[in-house]
Amino acid sequence: MPDVTKLASPLEVGGVRIRNRVFLAPMSGITDEPFRQRAHAHGAGLVVLEMVASGELAKGRAGSGLRIRHSGLPVHMVQLAGRDAVHMAEGARIAAGEGADIIDINMGCPAKKVTGGYAGSALMRDLDHALSLIEAVVGAVDVPVTVKMRLGWDESALNAPMLARRAEQAGVRMVTVHGRTRCQFYQGKADWRAIARVKQAVSIPVVANGDVGSPAEAALILDQSGADAVMIGRAHYGAPWTAGSIVAAALAEPISGMPDSPQALTDYVIAHYEDMLTLYGVESGLRQARKHLGWYLDRHAVTSDDWRKAILTSFEPGRVIALLRDMFSSAPEAPNLRSAA
């Protein structure tokens, strides 16, 4: 097994210093400013903004500017998605103008609404077109450009090593690889050993992604992939401290800021809820926050269907907060934080 203390060491990407090697993945509709702020405070080395459509950003569509707004963290990393080189270049310039330190290109999203528009992982079906987008972004900005990809479109086209090699030649400074094909979506087990072929194909840092949520899994993915860092996505649902917990384990230190009692967890969840209402406004914030509240309830509370429904359907923030206090504060012992260990 590799020395997992490596995960706590800094990593440089195109001259940008990242404080450690355990990253929060960009997740659409999830890694907004309140979530990123929490993950960073708990110790995540890098937190990536949720995917932004380059066409919407280039055209000034409502909401796109909010997604790339600088949140004051040491490294501001924006992920762009799209299929048009002009829009990708303009989106990159706008992001850089808003203070982006690193710009990531999404070539890994498997969602049909993204791949149906020939963006995300659909770009892995046409590497020449994918490279035209990379070259457009690299040529448009002075900040480092990175790419996130999958192993390929399907098992018959595992072309991540070729895409990574060509991306490096075009000026990309880091690649992240999710150990599944697009056609797998999130089914089955991520193939961590297949990421090793990408690592062997390039000299730039490689980040391994897929099915990591614990220190043991982080150690194993490093061992099997040979990657330089790990990126964690869905394991953060209801546990924004997950990446930080892995860094803390590497340092043999407590997890920074993790709630350690029913009262602390209650305050934590309510503060997250209130921050989302502030960011989006009450009407939109109520809808945006429900998935997060559901994950907190699933992981850390024992609740009836009626109580859960009341929390997740109420349009009154005060009632939601009162119900959350009842749910979490009445727990007989410390919250269930087993998923963060």
User: What's the Cα-to-Cα distance from 333 to each of 155, 165, 243, 257, rounded to whole Å?
Assistant: 47, 51, 24, 19
Classified as helix, coil or strand, 259 is coil
Phi and psi torsions of 258, nearest 5°: -75, 130
Tokens of 326: 């009842």
Residue 109 among the catalytic residues: yes
How many Å is the Cα radius of gyration of the chain?
A: 20
B/e letters for 135-155, b = 16+ CB within 10 Å, e = fewer, are bbbbebbebbbbbbbbbbbee
**Residue 6: which region, alpha, beta or left (left: phi > 0; alpha: psi -120 to 50)?**
alpha
Q: Is 258 within 8 Å of 337 (Cβ atoms)?
A: yes
Tokens of 240: 């924004």
Contact partners, residue 202, CB within 8 Å, separation at least 6: 164, 165, 168, 175
Q: How far apart are CA 22 and CA 24, in angstroms?
A: 7
Catalytic member of 4, 109, 229, 301: 109
Positions marked active-site:
109
